[in-house]
Amino acid sequence: MDVSKKAEASSSAHQAHPHPSKSLVEESYNSIAQRYLDWTTSTPSPRTLWLEKLLSRISSNSNVLELGCGAGVPCTQLLVRHCSEGTVTGVDISATQLELAKKHVPGAKLLKNDMMNLEFKEGSFDGVVGFYSLVHLPREEQGILMKSIRRWLKDEGLLLVNLAVFGGEGSYNSDWLGGGMFWSAWDEGGNMEMMKTAGFDILDQMVINDTEDGREVPFLWVLARKSKI
């Protein structure tokens, strides 16, 4: 079964029976929120460089959605600063992360939700971003979410995400920064197929290795535009 067919098959299943990883991810980010913030702010990442690629293409009155905003540092802060005449909506599954974000980014609209349960009007946003967040969704759900994102975007709206490339249905770690965690991913080709099938034109893409605790961990970074068809 290809990526698009797997995504369609799992759509109704998600609504009726949430994946068991959901509660794990929520509870873990609640317990490690400050530790995760300290770790991310001290670990090199290309996220701000890629965010600049999006910011250079949108105006100050843009409306942007961030999926998995965490504590709001640094990307939500940069988005709010740039979109001074628009709105920035940050979503996270962790209430503790959002409490931190309220302190760090008082200018953002913050929502607690599983990103798979979000509902926005068609054409609500000029841009959608997700950094190290979609990887926590089962990979079939990632394809479903991509189609939702396309609906939420205005014509020729932009999407900026990074995705894992290990090509596995699910990977669990019982002690990640002191909590349990779950990741899921297609390989690089599967990710690109997923995004194109969902209706995106790829503007820029690159696999970049993050260094985590001495290990190199590759992520696919993608800047895409909502296709006209």
CATH classification number, 3-226, choose in 3.30.420.40, 3.30.1490.100, 3.30.2320.50, 3.40.50.150: 3.40.50.150
Calpha distance 168→170 (Å, rounded): 5
Sorted by where each begins, the domain ranges of the chain are 3-226
CA-wise closest residue to 208 among 196, 199, 200, 216: 216
Structure tokens belonging to residue 65: 């959605």
Q: Indicate the residue type of 5.
A: K
The candidate with the shortest Cα–Cα distance to 156, out of 91, 82, 29, 62, is: 62
pLDDT digits (tens, 9 = 90+) for 151-175: 999 999 999 999 999 999 999 999 9
Predicted TM-score of the model (pTM): 0.93
Is pLDDT of 141 > 80? yes
Q: Are 169 and 163 within 8 A, CB to CB?
A: no
Looking at residue 107, the DSSP 8-state letter turns out to be T
